[in-house]
Amino acid sequence: MSIAMLLGLIASWGKLTRSRIGKSVADIYTTVVRGVPELVTILLVYYGMPTLIQDVLGAMDIDFIINLNPFMAGIGTLGFIYGAFATEVFRGAYLAVPKGQIEAARAVGMGTILTFRRVILPQMWRFALPGLANVWMVLIKATALISVIQLPELMRNADIASRATRKPFTFFFAASLIYLLITTGSLIFQKHVEKWADRGVRRV
């Protein structure tokens, strides 16, 4: 998730800059990643990347063998995919900050970075939180897909246990309850954080 947030911030900045290259790179990144199923991306990174790199290096007469660790591959891929989703959230949040406030900040002589840190970022949080929480929920559920590349996480362990005991329903149901617990917990946490981020907003 941290990787996704970092990538999201960078890519949304790319989308909003005036530089055409930055914009098109960020555009391609979000369109492609959001248009391809996560499972295909995971398989592509875990199985495809090593062979691709070997082929490229092989063409340059370098013998090199890499073995991707499933844990790193899984984290990297999920971060990469959900970075694209976070990008859109951040972009929407940035656009939701009133223009007048940014102008006001410039008028009192704040620099670009100071404006971003003091005026834009604190407000962006407020607008971005529900979207980010949504991405986080989808991300938790997507971690189940990592079991496909044999990483022994919750789903994989449930699979192994169900094979050993021949009671698939029991174990998968237990796994689903654990996921439910995690998502419900995050939901409650999200409510609290939103309250915290909204503390400066006037209410009727």
Partner 1 sequence: MDIRLILKSLPALLHGMVLTLNITSVSVLCGLLLAVILALMRVSKNPFFWMPSYGFIFYFRGTPLLVQLFLIYYGSGQFRNMLSTVGLWTFFRQAYFCGVLTLTLNTAAYTAEILRGAILAVPFGEIEAGMACGMSKVLLYRRIILPKAFRLGWQAYTNEVVFLLQATSLVSLITLLDITGVARVIAARTFAFYELFLTAAALYLCLVYGLLFLFRKIEQRLLSHLEPIRT
By beta-carbon proximity to partner 1, the closer residue of 77 and 123 is 77
Interface residue with partner 1, options 28, 44, 96, 104 (CB under 8 A): 44
Residues 6 or more apart from 64 whose CB is under 8 A from it?
53, 54, 57
By beta-carbon proximity to partner 1, the closer residue of 23 and 176 is 176
Interface residue with partner 1, options 28, 180, 196, 198 (CB under 8 A): 180
Interface residue with partner 1, options 17, 24, 28, 40 (CB under 8 A): 40
190 binds partner 1 (CB under 8 A): no
* Binding residues for partner 1, total number by CB under 8 A: 41
Q: How far is the CB of 113 from partner 1 (least distance, A)?
A: 35
As a whole number of Å, the CA-based R_g of the chain is 21
Q: Which residues bind partner 1 (CB under 8 A)?
A: 32, 35-41, 43-44, 47-49, 51-52, 55, 140-145, 147-148, 155, 158-159, 162, 166-170, 172-173, 175-176, 179-180, 183-184
